[in-house]
Amino acid sequence: MFEILVVCTGNICRSPLAEVVLRGTLEQLGGRVHSAGTQGLDAAPMTPEAQRLVVAMGADAGAASAHRSRYLTAAHLDSPDLILAMSREHRGRVAQLAPARLRSSFTVREFARLATGIPDADIVSAVASAGPDAAARVRAAVAIVAARRGLSAPPDDPADDDVVDPYRRPWATYQLSAAQMSPGLDQVARVVSLATR
């Protein structure tokens, strides 16, 4: 079984939205998707706006309403095959807690930027030697995406790798946040699906 962890600040807007959407998209593949926040909200629900976006994106409203936030710890970083952060700041926190996990950590927009240029056939070829274990195959696919860091030009503005934080902001900011993360979620679904087929 493969595992994906999504990280944001309070674990009540961006990361649980991505978690619920990815869980629904990848459900048939048998992986585990979960999320956590870098700051101390404990057992708080998703914001109503984030829950509304879950429904708008066609994901499970029940999973959104059941979500309770949790604080990111080093133990959460031991086992994920892919760690998706909503901003460079969150990715930096992951690196502080578990420096060895940096290669498998991306902002969701960075993942989209790097993975978009990789043909399906290259991903399938890269995971062929990983054997039948789904987690090993996902790790091999993630390594191919990570290898593009030195080959792909960074964005002109580094902030273009971040997803805007919509917390306590207008509905339009929530919509922008979801629009910024959607291409990354689509690429994660593509890469993981190819890796595990």
Q: Which residues contact 151 (CB under 8 A, 6 or more apart)?
A: none
Active site residue 14: yes
Residue 184: pLDDT band (50, 70, 90) is very high
Beta strands in 39-94 (DSSP E): 82-85
103 compared with 42, residue with greater pLDDT:
103
Kindly indicate the confidence band of residue 154, based on its pLDDT and cuts at 50, 70 and 90.
confident
Which tokens is 57 given?
């994106």
Average pLDDT over residues 88-101: 96
Q: What are phi and psi of 22, to 5 degrees?
A: -65, -40
Contact 88, 102 (CB under 8 A): no
Catalytic residue among 13, 14, 91, 113: 14
**pLDDT band per the 50, 70, 90 thresholds, residue 151:** confident
With tokens 């207008």, the residue in question is: 170
Mind listing the pLDDT tens digit for each residue in 128-144?
999 999 999 999 999 99
This prediction has a pTM of 0.95
Which is catalytic among the residues 8, 13, 23, 91?
8
Architecture of domain 3-196: 3-Layer(aba) Sandwich (3.40)
Give the pLDDT of residue 42.
85
Q: Contact at 8 Å (CB) between 167 and 161?
A: no
Domain boundaries along the sequence of the chain: 3-196
* Predicted confidence band of residue 164 (pLDDT cuts 50, 70, 90): very high
Task: Tell me the β-bridge partners of 35.
Answer: 6
Could you tell me what percent of the chain has a pLDDT over 90?
89
Q: Is 13 tagged catalytic?
A: no
Q: In a 3-state reduction of DSSP, which class is residue 11?
A: coil
